Amino acid sequence: MTDKRALLTDSALQLFYEKGINSVGINEVLKVSGVAKKTLYNHFDSKEALVLATLEARDQIFLGWLAKRLSEASSNAELVEALFASLTDWFNSRVPELPPFRGCFFINSSIECGETSKAVSIYCQTHKAKVRELIENQLAEPNASLLDALCLLKEGAIVSAYVSQDLEAANKAVPLAMAFV
């Protein structure tokens, strides 16, 4: 009927992000998506291939959302505000486009699969580079040290929000970054 590949990818992304890749078996993905096992292996060579598809899907969703949020900013100061306000919304699960916050899917996946799948860690690394590029392109005027600062603070805020449950971490980053505008 409809595109089974997309259905599988969506269900898997949801489950992988919520429970972690290693905690979710193929069978659970099948059950939730209501797709047969043969069909899954028709579209994907292995679980790893499915994981890579979910990374790709999340990459698109996340970058699309962030690009929209950052596009409003018309100065570097506004960009800083927009970035960390967006993160705070994300951490507090106030973003309709994104499921309830459970950390960064790419950090999580890199840690969960880093040792077993080179492809996964490379994809995660690439995603981070893309986000950096997005921020760079949104800078009203180039500022290399501000860019470094934003990326460092962004990762720090994500981890603090998840591991230390500090949902306001991104707000603490604002005055810091402002010193470099």
Partner DNA sequence: ATCAAGGTAGACAACTTTGTCTACCTCTGT
Partner DNA sequence: ACAGAGGTAGACAAAGTTGTCTACCTTGAT
Residues engaged in binding DNA (CB under 7 A)? 1, 4, 24-28, 34-39, 41-43, 46-48
Q: Does 100 bind a copy of itself (CB under 8 A)?
A: no
Q: Does 175 bind a copy of itself (CB under 8 A)?
A: yes
Q: How far apart are CA 177 and CA 21, in angstroms?
A: 33
Q: What are the angstrom distances between the C-alpha of 166 and each of 105, 160, 169?
A: 18, 6, 5
Q: Does 121 bind a copy of itself (CB under 8 A)?
A: yes
* Shortest distance in whole angstroms from residue 103 CB to DNA: 20
Instruction: State the DSSP code for 99.
Output: P
Count of residues for the chain? Answer: 181
Q: Which of 56, 98, 103, 130 binds a copy of itself (CB under 8 A)?
A: 103
φ/ψ of residue 108, rounded to 5: -60, -50
With contacts defined by CB under 8 A, how many residues of the chain interact with a copy of itself? 44
Q: Does 120 bind a copy of itself (CB under 8 A)?
A: no
Positive or negative, the CA dihedral 59, 163, 120, 113 is negative
Please, which of residues 15-34 interact with a copy of itself by CB under 8 A? 18-20, 22-23
Q: If you search the block for the tokens 């994981």, which residue do you land on?
A: 51
Q: If you search the block for the tokens 């980053």, which residue do you land on?
A: 173
- The binding site for a copy of itself (CB under 8 A) comprises 18-20, 22-23, 103, 106-108, 110-112, 114-116, 121, 124-125, 128-129, 145, 148-149, 151-160, 162-165, 169, 172-173, 175-176, 179-180
